[in-house]
Structures are given as structure tokens and as C-alpha cells.
Amino acid sequence: MGTAYLDHASTTPMLPEALEAMTTQLGQVGNASSLHATGRRTRRVVEESRETIASALGARPSEVVFTAGGTEADNLAIKGLFWARKRPRVLISAVEHHAALDPAHWLADNHGATAELLEVDEYGRVHPDTLRAAIERDPEGVALVSVMWANNEVGTVQPIKALAAIAHEYGIPFHTDAVQAVAQLPVSFAESGVDAMTVSGHKVGGPIGVGALLLARGVDPVPVLHGGGQERDVRSGTLDAPAIAGFAAAVRAAVDRRADTAERLSILRDDLICRVRKAVPDVIVNGHPSERLPGNAHFSFPGCEGDALLMLLDARGVECSTGSACSAGVAQPSHVLLAMGQDGARARGSLRFSLGHTSTVADVERVAEVIGMVVERARRAGLTSVSGG
């Protein structure tokens, strides 16, 4: 029995182009900050990679700041802009990834910030009027706005260009976490109007441990790391040239194939939703019905615990994920689903199936083969647990 890997939103296999670019550099030596010939060769790899990423994402090379991944980039944007602006209010959507939410809450707990969650509708979208109303309560007090491009759990796509335009009416910098968007949606840093944008290597078919924060000219967050100031004096640390080369190759390949990939994944996703609905008629599909990632299918299964479903599916060769977090061994409902107005039971009984560049019809068929019996078994287990006290 083969394994159907349907957790690409967590991490996706490296693209052949990225593997080749990275392994070619792994055999080389050199620090991009060194002035001798070997250092200059490494610097050329880094700068050519920077140009590749900028070209693919509609940015200038000088706007690409390399980081160790999406989490660091989110932290640099949110903490750095808060400290640079010296204003208390951080406006952030209620459905952000914890890599963005937790820095905002940390600033509130330790640095006098006020982390204000922007409400979302039942699909997980922030309405432009919601942002405007939040800003207008005290425009001069807002340090920044942060709203992700596409949600990592339910796949809903945000109206980023409209939201960024509202923030700019008040002179407020706008950050977006575009980690999930780059490989599946048209993403242009310049056209979106955002001031800071997070990208991660391993979400687009590149290596783990590398990412970037795109920063518009004149947007200068206070550094989170201090040292050599290698990246525009806002990010310090020796640059990982092999990872950066693999990252750039992955971004270029993913963007070049994006339209075809999105079309193929949309067909697979719709087939998956249809098959799951047929097997489990009372299943609930979460997220926006049309403005969503092509490769995302997110379900709530009434009467089930998501963790139980996850393990039962795993035992049958289907790998997916839940949105729940575990605290002291107790599953907590997804903050994304709660923010969308769902109750705790429905939120805990949810699964995310995310498709990517290696996904096939056979993966979808495998889910269809086992999902009905898995849900039935999970429901029986739940009833047994309740009746047993």
C-alpha cells in the first residue's frame, strides 16, 4: 500500500531544480561576506538568487532580505515595524498563523503593544470595512497591519490589495504572510501594494530553513538579530548560499508553472471534495467557496475528533493534518475555525487535505477508499467514550 501525501501546506517535496541548485553549491566553500575570490563567487550565487526571486515575485532585488524561514520573516516584520514606528497598536487578523500571531501577543505581553485581532467572516476573510473601522478608532496609534495572503488551514484568500490600500490611506505599513500563496496564486509584491511580505522556501518546493522578507524601499524594521548586518542592516547572519540557491530555483520554477499547477490542483481538489461528500454526506467544507487556494480542501466531520481521524487515516496510508493544537496532552480547537464562528466540537473534528506538485488522482482515490470507514470508526469510538463515562 502506497502513501497518499496530502500535507503539502505543511511542507512540500523539493522540486528537481531546487535539489540540483542546492546540491551544486553544497560542494563549494565560501562566505558571501568575504572579499577574496571564493567569497566573491559565493556572493555572486546569493545576488543572482536574489535577482531571480525578485523577478519572480514582482520586486526589486534590493527589496529581498534573506532569512532562515517564514517564522523569522514574520517576527522581523511585526516586531521590527512595531519598534521602528513606536506606536502601540498592532492590527492583525484573527486567523493568522502562529508565526505572526505569537509575536504580536509577545509584544503586548512584554513591550506595551496592544494586539488587536481583526474579525473575519464565516469564510475567514477580513473585510476592508473591518480594517478601516479598526484603524479609525485611533489612526495615529497604529504601528502596522498584518493580514496573511492565504490562510494555511482553510485556504481562504484575503483581499490583500484592497486592505493594503486602506492602510496606506493612513500612512500605515502593511505586512502579509504569503507563505501559502506563492506557489498557487499570482503574487506580485509591487502590484499588491504591500510594504512587507513573507516567503518560505519549503512551502514552494525549496529547502527547509530559508526564506525571505520582502521590504519596500523606505520600510526599515528594527533588527531582531544583531551582528554583522549582512542583509540591509536589518538581518544579521552568515548567508546560507546553498539553501538560497535552492530557494531561488524553487521560486522560479513554481511561479513559472503556477497557472498549470493551479488548474491541475483545482480539478483534483474539487474531485476530492465531491468524493468525500459522497462518502460522508454530512461533512462540512470550510473556507471560502471560490476565493481559496487551489490545493486546499478543509473539512469538518460531525461527531468526530480530528486527532482520531488523523491517526486512523495515517494507519491506512493517508497523510493529512488537523488545525488543532495540543496543550498539556489535550487537543485544543483551531483558533482559525473559532474565529470563523464555529463551535469547539466542530473545530476539533476538522481535517485539512492539502495538495501540491506531486499530488495525483491516485492520492484522491485513496482518500475516497478509506474516508467513509474511518469516519464511521471514529464516530463509534466517540460514542463509546461518551457512554463509558
Shared domain for 278 and 346, answered yes or no, is yes
The whole-angstrom separation of Cα 199 and Cα 236 is 18
Shared domain for 147 and 277, answered yes or no, is no
Shared domain for 146 and 68, answered yes or no, is yes
What b-and-e string marks burial along 56-91, b requiring 16 or more CB atoms within 10 Å of the CB?
Answer: bbbbeeebbbbbbbbbbbbbbbbbbbbbbbebbbbb
Task: CATH number of the domain at 188, please.
Answer: 3.40.640.10
DSSP-based three-state secondary structure for 118: strand
Angle of helix 241-256 versus helix 258-279 axis, rounded to 10: 80
Shared domain for 188 and 121, answered yes or no, is yes
Which residues does the chain have with pLDDT short of 50? 326-328, 386-389
Instruction: Examine the residue annotation and report whether 274 is marked as an active-site residue of this protein.
Output: no
Question: What pLDDT does 323 receive?
Answer: 75
Shared domain for 59 and 199, answered yes or no, is yes
Which of residues 225, 256, 287 is at a domain's end? 256
How many C-beta atoms surround the C-beta of residue 202 within 10 A? Answer: 24
Shared domain for 284 and 249, answered yes or no, is no
Shared domain for 93 and 208, answered yes or no, is yes
The whole-angstrom separation of Cα 187 and Cα 193 is 11
Shared domain for 308 and 171, answered yes or no, is no
Which is it for strands 350-354 and 174-177: parallel, antiparallel or unpaired? unpaired
What b-and-e string marks burial along 251-268, b requiring 16 or more CB atoms within 10 Å of the CB?
Answer: bbbbbeebeebbebbbeb
Task: Give the Å distances, CA to CA, from 100 to 134, 196, 251, 293, 306.
Answer: 19, 13, 22, 20, 24
Domain of 63 in residue numbering reads as 16-256
Q: Which region, left, alpha or beta, applies to residue 216 given φ > 0 means left and ψ of -120 to 50 means alpha?
A: beta
Shared domain for 241 and 273, answered yes or no, is no
Shared domain for 178 and 316, answered yes or no, is no
Question: What pLDDT does 389 receive?
Answer: 44
What letter does residue 102 receive in the DSSP assignment? Answer: H
Which of residues 196, 228, 256 is at a domain's end? 256
Find the catalytic residue in 274, 304, 320, 326: 326
* CB-based contact 58:190 (threshold 8 Å): yes
Shared domain for 227 and 366, answered yes or no, is no
Give me the number of domains the chain comprises.
Answer: 2
Task: CATH number of the domain at 369, please.
Answer: 3.90.1150.10
